[in-house]
Amino acid sequence: MKSGLVAVVGRPNAGKSTFVNAFLSKKVSIVSPKAQTTRDNILGIYHEKDLEIALSDTPGIFEGKEGLYKLMLKNVKGALQGADCVFYLIDASKGDNEGEAKTIKDLRLSIPLIIGYNKIDLVTVPEGQAAREFFTNAFPNAKFIELSALRNYGLAECKEAFKAYMPEGPAFYEENRYSDHGQEFMAREVIREKMLRFLKDEIPHTAAVKIDSFTKKGDSISIEATVYVDSKGHLPIVVGKNGEMVKKISMAARQQMEKDFHAHVSLYLDCKAAPNWRSSAKWLAYLGYAGND
């Protein structure tokens, strides 16, 4: 039996969460077209006969001065520490090979590196070839894989590459367990996903969601949650005219949860202001962003 941990890292929006979901054929991590979607390390667990691969989806590598961003970067470093190899994902469509190489070097990795050149559906064949040449020169010991997480292309090659670095060991997770987070965490994330979809600009990035109560009875789940925004001025935008925006977010989140949880879901969503929560250790802890490294 082989079992081990792959740290999936890269810049915001590279497609890390899309990749982890595609690799598992299960949704364990939310995805959005906006950068800085993932805030926590989320473990996705892949099972096969005699093989267990835990993939750690991480926040995008990004430096910001707020406590939240420092915690996010700490999460990335934490994931690298315990991993058997690192899967560094690149958004090929950005065409920033030099910048990506610098970010990889800055990580000062001491574990094997696999470079995933993602979103190849958006680049030409010569661009892909040039990238392969560039990265194999810059990182001669690394493996370079072209893939499209969105189109499920290149995933088998990734699996073989990960497998080669998985040590002999026992299965650490039950076979039916595919994430280290439960439904309550996923409920919070799904609400954030819908906020990222419906709210413009920085508002969803500066907001947080707290699940106040999560009650499961048979196949019914009842959830009370609060959206905390960074400043009072954001409240009317999140609530919307006659409460339309919060209703829209809540309805979309509820429908998504019913699909993901195979349950009847009732969701009550409130909105409050928590000025500057991203820089307050107390607020970060209250909202579940502290001590998760």
Ligand X SMILES: Nc1nc2c(ncn2[C@@H]2O[C@H](COP(=O)(O)OP(=O)(O)OP(=O)(O)O)[C@@H](O)[C@H]2O)c(=O)[nH]1
Interface positions with ligand X (CB under 6 A): 10, 12-18, 31-33, 35-38, 59-60, 118-119, 121-122, 148-150
The Cα–Cα gap between 116 and 95 comes to: 14
In the list 3, 17, 148, 179, the residue contacting Mg ion (rule: CB under 5 A) is 17
The Cα–Cα gap between 142 and 26 comes to: 28
39 within 8 A of 50, measured Cβ to Cβ = no
- Is residue 21 part of the contact set for Mg ion (CB under 5 A)? no
150 within 8 A of 121, measured Cβ to Cβ = yes
Per DSSP, 206 falls in state G
Nearest of 287, 285, 293, 144 to residue 227 by alpha carbon: 287
**Choices 11-19, 42-50, 138-146, 187-195; region in contact with Mg ion by CB under 5 A:** 11-19
Three-state secondary structure call for residue 292: coil
- Is residue 38 part of the contact set for Mg ion (CB under 5 A)? yes
Residue 110 identity: S
Helix (H) or strand (E) holding 19: helix 16-24
119 binds, among ligand X, Mg ion, none (CB under 5 to 8 A by kind): ligand X
Nearer to ligand X, 51 or 73 (CB): 73
In the list 36, 37, 56, 118, the residue contacting Mg ion (rule: CB under 5 A) is 37
Nearer to ligand X, 125 or 282 (CB): 125
Cβ 55 to Mg ion shortest distance, Å = 12
Nearer to ligand X, 118 or 183 (CB): 118
**Choices 35-43, 74-82, 231-239, 284-292; region in contact with Mg ion by CB under 5 A:** 35-43
The dihedral through the CA atoms of 79, 230, 189, 155 has a sign that is negative
The Cα–Cα gap between 243 and 85 comes to: 47
Cβ 81 to ligand X shortest distance, Å = 19
Residues that bind Mg ion in the complex, under the rule CB under 5 A:
16-17, 37-38
